[in-house]
Amino acid sequence: MSAIVAMDAGAADVLPLPVKAGAENRVHAKKQAGAKNIVSRHFDKAAQSYQSGARLQQQVAADLLALLPEVTPQQQKRLLDMGCGPGWLHPKLKNYCSELWAADLSAQMLAEAKTLNQASCFIEADATALPIPANCIDSIFSSLMLQWCPKPADVFAEFHRVLKDNGCFYLSTLVTDSMAEFRQSWAQVDNHAHQLKFLSAAQVLAAASAQGFVCQSDIRTYQLFYPDVQSLARSFKQIGANYVAGRSDSGLGGKKRWLQFAKAYEQFRTEQGLPLSYQVLKIVARKSR
Ligand SMILES: C[S@@+](CC[C@H](N)C(=O)[O-])C[C@H]1O[C@@H](n2cnc3c(N)ncnc32)[C@H](O)[C@@H]1O
């Protein structure tokens, strides 16, 4: 662990998952490996196509970035981009800190981020088990990662541990009723889950408060439009979002069911195309105790 803080700010290295000993930690490592295998496999595959498909992510990250306070050149501020993806936001995030660290579950996403050479430290890790010492980060920026984490409380506990006193996190995540058109169209075809299960804003905020954060938040609807369901499915694949927990077959189903889904989705068509709406919760939270 201490290797991280001792790192030269100019040395861009990918740090491995933390190595721990003992039975308890072997279970922990196994669980972590399981999560990594499923979610990170999708994001690994999408690392190179991500940016061209990430329309929602770009809009949301720009709005979240606007909430960050400016820093003066004299201020020493270490900022962690948690769930950084391919690091496309790093040139901008650099304006809000004196030192940028980047962390992600996906090695391929980190490899892409590393090519930009904006962060001083690249950490391959699960947000619920960060190989980062306590009380050493001034701010955490995390855009659209949390909905991939089944237990937000565990993520917030790690944020609380690594943040300095009075440190803040700036986070966006998807909440209940996101992708309603998609869900309602599939509901006319079968009873399977075809998308992530989103928590309510109240659940996410309660999890953050319970870990000792004072939160300010807002929810906004973002809407994207697609010419047809094929391009919608293609965009999920481009960004690695074509994974649904609990389904070994994350594909969108057989041809017949797919045609039924496409027909059902037509009920939502507008002049701009087929809409897909996301409910995005943004939180600015301060570590208070
Ligand atoms: C939708 S992308 C968002 C990337 C970037 N923040 C953006 O706004 O474009 C989600 C990212 O979170 C990462 N991720 C998902 N679950 C994670 C976890 N448990 N720990 C760390 N990173 C995770 C994925 O590998 C992926 O790069």
Q: For every one of its 289 residues, what pLDDT tens digit does the chain have, with 9 covering 90 and above?
A: 222 222 222 323 333 333 333 444 444 455 555 556 788 888 898 898 888 888 999 999 999 999 999 888 788 999 999 999 999 999 999 999 999 999 999 999 999 999 999 999 999 999 999 999 999 999 999 999 999 999 999 999 999 999 999 999 999 999 999 999 999 999 999 888 888 889 999 999 999 999 999 999 999 999 999 999 999 999 888 888 776 644 544 455 578 888 999 999 999 999 999 999 999 999 999 998 7
Q: From ligand 1's centre to the CA of 256, what distance in Å?
A: 33
Which helix (DSSP H) or strand (DSSP E) does residue 218 occupy? strand 213-226
145 in contact with ligand 1, CB cutoff 6 A = yes
From the CB of 109, is ligand 1 less than 6 Å away?
A: yes
Q: Is residue 120 part of a domain?
A: yes
83 lines ligand 1 (CB under 6 A): yes
Q: Is 170 in the pocket of ligand 1 (CB under 6 A)?
A: no
For ligand 1, whether the C-beta of 106 sits within 6 Å is yes
Q: What is the pLDDT of residue 14?
A: 37
Task: Give, using CA atoms, the residue closest to atom 13 of ligand 1.
Answer: 83
15 in a domain, yes or no? Answer: yes
Distances in whole angstroms, Cα of residue 228 to Cα of each of 225, 235, 256, 259, 266: 9, 11, 16, 12, 9
Q: Which amino acid is at 156?
A: F
Backbone angles phi, psi at 251, to 5 degrees: -65, 170
| Ligand 1 mean position, distance from CA 39 (Å) | 9
User: What pLDDT is stored for residue 216 in this prediction?
Assistant: 98
Asked if residue 94 belongs to a domain, the reply is yes
N- to C-terminal Cα separation, the chain: 24
In 54-148, where does DSSP find H-type helix?
55-65, 90-93, 107-116
The pTM of this model reads 0.87
Q: Give yes or no for residue 149 CB within 6 A of ligand 1.
A: yes
229 part of a folded domain = no
The ligand 1 atom nearest the CA atom of 84: 6
Q: How many domains does the chain have?
A: 1
Ligand 1: which residue has its CA nearest to atom 9?
57
Nearest atom, ligand 1, residue 88 CA: 9
The residue range of the domain holding 203 is 2-175+197-221+279-287
Find the CATH number of the domain harbouring 15: 3.40.50.150
Task: For ligand 1, say whether the CB of 50 is within 6 Å of any of its atoms.
Answer: no
Contact predicate 101/79, CB 8 Å: yes
Query: Residue 188 falls within a domain, yes or no?
Result: no
Residue corresponding to tokens 């089944």: 150
* Strands 14-15 vs 121-124: parallel, antiparallel or unpaired: parallel
pLDDT of residue 248: 45
148 lines ligand 1 (CB under 6 A): yes
Does 226 reside within a domain? no
Query: Residue 73: helix, strand or coil by DSSP?
Result: coil
Q: Are 287 and 208 in contact (CB under 8 A)?
A: no
Strands (E) in 6-128, as ranges, are 14-15, 78-82, 99-104, 121-124
Q: Is the CB of 104 under 6 A from ligand 1?
A: yes
- Would 248 be classed as within a structural domain? no
In-domain check, residue 17: yes
Q: Which two tokens stand for residue 135?
A: 């009380």
